[in-house]
Amino acid sequence: MGLYRDEAVVLRTCKLGEADRIVTLLTRRHGRVRAVAKGVRRTRSRFGARLEPATHVDVQLAEGRSLDVVTQVESLGPFGARLAGDYPRHTVASAMLEAAERLTAEEREPALRLFLLLVGGLKALTEGEHDPRLVLDAFLLRALSLAGYAMSLDACARCGAPGPHRAFAIAAGGLACPQCRPAGAASPSPAAVFLLRDLLTGNWPGADSTEVGTRREASGLVAAYLQWHLERGLRSLPLVERSPAPPARVLDPA
Amino acid sequence: MYEGAVQDLIDELGRLPGIGPKSAQRIAFHVLQASATDVKRLAAVLVDVKDKVRFCKVCGNVSSAELCRICADPRRDPAQICVVEEPKDVVAVERTREFRGRYHVLGGAISPIDGVGPDDLRIRELLARLADGTVTEVILATDPNLEGEATATYLARLVKPMGVHVTRPASGLPVGGDLEYADEVTLGRAFEGRRQIDV
């Protein structure tokens, strides 16, 4: 049985037997890995809080027949513990973890960019500079593009005609020109499309200055787009709570 | 593969948590060799547990009457409610003999990733118990893991505006453990909640 060491974010834990847990990790080099953490539920476990969801860890694993076994853990960033004291942010973190798990279809298929995106997303969420829901939508849009489902927000998603276009067709993969527009396509407000573009490209000053209504509209589009491409929605997404007062600055939809 | 009843018993036992095919077979043969009275008693207890055990209509703990033993006991302090996730946690707190108030069993913890939201827990019942003003302190004794912490945060946000004192059991170093093995989060909490030694 070989030992290997990797950096990872804990995506999910579930109970196993008396005192063990199965932890799902998104690792830097080995993709999504499921491993057994023995005795982690005992109060005297030497792993303690390090294997709680949303913790960024340096972990040593022993290869097993079906599941690997966690042998040592060091914590690099206890994001989960910091977020548990803020319920809206905690729900956002849960949705990010679930999305990361669902977007890694195969175990052990390296997903370095998704790993880096997740660590960055959790860090941004903990720092609390932006509305948590914006962080979530930016994460989901970028994670989807890494998975090959990038939302087309300039050219027509079907024929490639240069934009800007008005119609938004989820099945086509983004905005659609008047010729390609399928029946029943949505017509989002220009401000919402601007916001989606800002979130996808990381233009935070632009995203932070949007109004609550625009953010809601963009979130709705992201949720519908995600659900279409994942074939079923995230279980945690309906439970994500909006912060009571999102920091909206000036409204100027250009 | 065994014949008829023996195989049926093995199959049924194998569906229990933590019991694999080998354990199921061992238990089945133990039952087969045991005396008829022992087996009848076991069967009766199994039927009883399903027929007689209900959930206390006040706290949600397992009970054999409409009110559980603790809710029905007039000596328990009605001003304190200890909120726990599972009936097992009531037993754990009771074993300490430190707590003389009453309980409220939520039936789990908020876990968005598993699709468990606030509406799936007995939170509305808790708020109803607080409405008449008898309760002055709510102790949020959910598990000290991520889901438990988040549930406590959520509950504190609801309960505090009702003018009730909200507390959470201390977390820190386990008695009988080694400092060097404590993880950063736990050790950090222990330092946060350090207390003066009175001599």
Task: Kindly list the averaged pLDDT for each block of 10 residues, start to end, along chain A of length 254.
Answer: 90 88 94 92 80 93 91 90 89 94 90 95 92 94 93 89 87 88 88 93 91 92 92 88 53 39
Given an 8 Å threshold on Cβ–Cβ distance, is A78 in contact with B115?
Answer: no
Q: How many percent of chain B have pLDDT more than 90?
A: 70
CB contact under 8 A, A50 and B113: no
Q: Give all domains of chain B, ordered by start, each with its CATH number.
A: 75-167 (3.40.1360.10)
Asked if pLDDT for residue B30 goes beyond 90, the answer is yes
In A, which residues are within 8 Å of B149 by CB distance?
81, 84-85
3-class secondary-structure state, position A36: strand
Residues of B in contact with A90 (CB under 8 A): 112, 146, 150, 153
Nearest chain B Cα to A86, which residue? Answer: B153
Task: Give helix B4-14 / helix B21-33 axis angle, nearest 10°.
Answer: 130
Q: What is the pLDDT of residues A244-253, one digit of tens each?
A: 544 444 443 3
Exposure string of B36-55, with b = 16+ CB inside 10 Å and e = fewer, is: eeeeeeeeeeeeeeeeeeeb
Residue of B nearest to A99 (CA): B113
Structure-token pair, residue B47? 């039927």
Provide the pLDDT for residue B172. 83
- Put simply, the answer to whether B185 touches A49 (Cβ < 8 Å) is yes
The residue of chain B nearest to residue A92, with distances taken between CA atoms, is: B112
Residues of chain B with Cβ-Cβ distance to A99 below 8 Å are none
From residue A89, give the alpha-carbon distance in Å to each of A97, A219, B195: 12, 15, 30
Contact: A50, B183; criterion CB under 8 Å: yes
Choose the mutation target among A94, A98, A241 for the interface with B, i.e. most B CBs under 10 Å: A94
Query: Above 90 in pLDDT, residue B38?
Result: yes
Tell me the nearest-neighbour CA distance from A150 into chain B, angstroms: 24
d(CA B88, CA A41): 15
* Residue B80 to residue B135: CA distance in whole angstroms: 6
Interchain contact A97–B (C-beta under 8 A) = yes
Q: Which domains does chain A have, with CATH numbers?
A: 3-80 (2.40.50.140), 130-242 (no CATH)
- Reply yes or no on whether the pLDDT at B122 is more than 50: yes
Q: Say if the Cβ atoms of A80 and B18 lie within 8 Å.
A: no
For A84, which of B149, B177, B184 is closest by C-beta distance? B149
- What is the C-alpha separation between B8 and B31, in angstroms, rounded? 13
Q: Do B18 and A236 touch (CB under 8 A)?
A: no
Segment B133-187, tens digit of pLDDT: 899 999 999 998 889 999 999 999 999 999 999 999 988 887 777 888 788 888 8
**Residue A194, Cβ density class (10 Å: 0-12 exposed, 13-18 middle, ≥19 buried):** buried
Q: Does B177 touch chain A (CB under 8 A)?
A: yes
User: CB of A85 within 8 Å of any CB in chain B?
Assistant: yes
Check: CB of residue B59 under 8 Å from CB of residue B68: yes
The tokens of A139 are what?
């994460």
For residue B113, give how far its alpha carbon lies from the nearest alpha carbon of chain A (Å): 5
Angle at B114 between CA A128 and CA B124, to 5 degrees: 85
B117/A238 touch (CB, cutoff 8 Å), yes or no: yes
For residue A15, what pLDDT is reported? 87
Flag whether residue A98 sits within 8 Å of chain B, measured between CB atoms: yes
Instruction: Calculate the average pLDDT of chain B.
Output: 91
pLDDT of residue A252: 39
pLDDT at B185: 82
| Beta carbons of B154 and A98 less than 8 Å apart | no
Q: Min CA distance, B199 vs chain A (Å)?
A: 29
Contact B183 A47 (CB under 8 A): yes
Contact assignment for A85 to B149 by CB distance below 8 Å: yes
pLDDT > 60? residue B71: yes
The CA-based angle A115-A117-A121, given to 5 degrees, is 120
B 14-33 residues with CB < 8 A to A:
18
Choose between B1 and B43: higher pLDDT. Answer: B43
CB atoms A98 and B153 under 8 Å? no
Q: A152 has which bridge partners?
A: A174
Write the CB contacts of A103 (distance below 8 Å, at least 6 apart in sequence): A111, A114, A143, A144, A146, A147, A230
